[in-house]
Amino acid sequence: MPIRAPRRYGYAHLIAAICFSIQALGVGTFIAFGVFFNPLMEEFGWSRAAISGASSLAFFLMGLFGVIVGRVNDRFGPRQIMTVTAILLGLGCVLMARLSSLWELYLFYGIIFGMGLSSIDVIALTTIARWFSHRRGFMTGIVKVGTGAGQFVIPLSASGLIFLYGWRWSFVLIGTSVALILVLMAQFLRRDPDALPSNRPSETVDCRRTAPATDSSLTLSRALRTVQLWTICLVNLCLVFCLMIIMLHIVPHARDLGFPAMQAAGVLSIIGAVSMLGRFVSGLIIDRLGSKAVMGGCFVLLLIGLGWLQFAHQPWMLYLFAVIYGLAHGGCFTAISPLVAEWFGIQSHGTLFGIVVCFGTTGGSVGPLLAGHLFDLTGSYQPTFRIVTVMALVAWGMLLFLRPVKNR
């Protein structure tokens, strides 16, 4: 039976719900690694730099393989690639239960889990960009709220599981559950509305809400020759360098200040909860003012938060930082995918967004590793926080001078 416009419209919302869940489960599981920091240090005596290195490797491979995932998605669609990467993600977590040496940490978490992460951003956000155009910012914001939801729920859940069952069984339970859910949802993914059968080409979902024709899109070769693409890549590199240092090291920093384990994990969960508001509001504003304006505003909030963090030493002060930072964090991550779609179109969005993500994950992989190394040398996160502030200023400056592509 042909699928008519109302059914396609309903399927678009199913796609949005699936992409929301992909972001929640994938990013939430990755961010929860910060909760495992102290148990790993206590059992094995590894340094923060050594443990950060595994997370950095996972994040780097997420971006590196994300370029391949984006290219495959542009050509063949997301279902098969999402299924494979979901299995790798779960396998990496399950294997952590038999962890006994540092090289295994890098293999299980850094490589296998990192490859599994590669589709979390590219598949979810590229699929949304293809299914929605008029409300692309709003729908991207809704999907990115899933990231905040995952950051709020999964670290707290991981902390509770570690208390009840220990860190090894916690990895098994989280990895198995997340992989099964992702594999199931992957079977319902479609690249765009045209992937659904229909007797009449005109029977697409409401044109105001879904992907338009791509005749205004830049070709991949043309986009790769623009200064704007590589500027966005550098902005994302600096941005994610800053954001991932905070996300991975804020829990150990809180523990150093004397916070109990659950209270320290609560800082991370507040960031996740507030970032949901940031993602939702930024998605609404993107459709009105554009992605660049939203990112600029989020950078201002980020700089305010980073300045405050360097003086925060009491619980209420760190919680206030979490609120300010959460708004900036959510808005910045929401704006990247719509920015690529606005300036280059959606014909090669998966590949282009994969490249931008790869630059971001490169910065995000170096940042936490550097932060761990500096802490091991100085016994403090203050030098790291100053470096993060400078990098955020550099990224903000590059964004301010960014101009749209001419003769689009």
Q: What is the pTM of this model?
A: 0.74
* Structural domain includes residue 336: yes
* pLDDT at position 143: 86
Question: CA torsion, points 307, 313, 314, 319, in degrees to nearest 10?
Answer: 40
Average pLDDT over residues 96-101: 90
* Structural domain includes residue 23: yes
pLDDT in tens, 8-37: 667 888 888 999 999 999 988 988 887 888
Percent of the chain topping pLDDT 70? 91
- In a 10 Å sphere around its CB, with 0-12 CB exposed, 13-18 middle and 19+ buried, how is residue 404 labelled? exposed
pLDDT in tens, 362-380: 888 888 888 888 888 888 8
How many whole angstroms separate alpha carbon 166 and alpha carbon 3? Answer: 49
* Structural domain includes residue 379: yes
Q: Which region among 122-126, 291-295, 348-352 has the lowest average model confidence (pLDDT)?
A: 348-352
How many whole angstroms separate alpha carbon 373 and alpha carbon 381? Answer: 10
Q: Which region among 10-19, 115-124, 218-227 has the lowest average model confidence (pLDDT)?
A: 218-227
Q: How many domains does the chain have?
A: 1
Residue 218, pLDDT > 70, answer yes
Residue 209, pLDDT > 70, answer no
Instruction: For residue 228, give its domain range.
Output: 5-201+211-400
* Structural domain includes residue 405: no
Residue 390, pLDDT > 90, answer yes
Average pLDDT over residues 237-243: 92
Tell me, what CATH number does 395's domain have?
Answer: 1.20.1250.20
Question: What are the residues whose beta carbons fall under 8 Å from the beta carbon of 18, sequence distance 6 or more?
Answer: 185, 188, 189
* Structural domain includes residue 39: yes
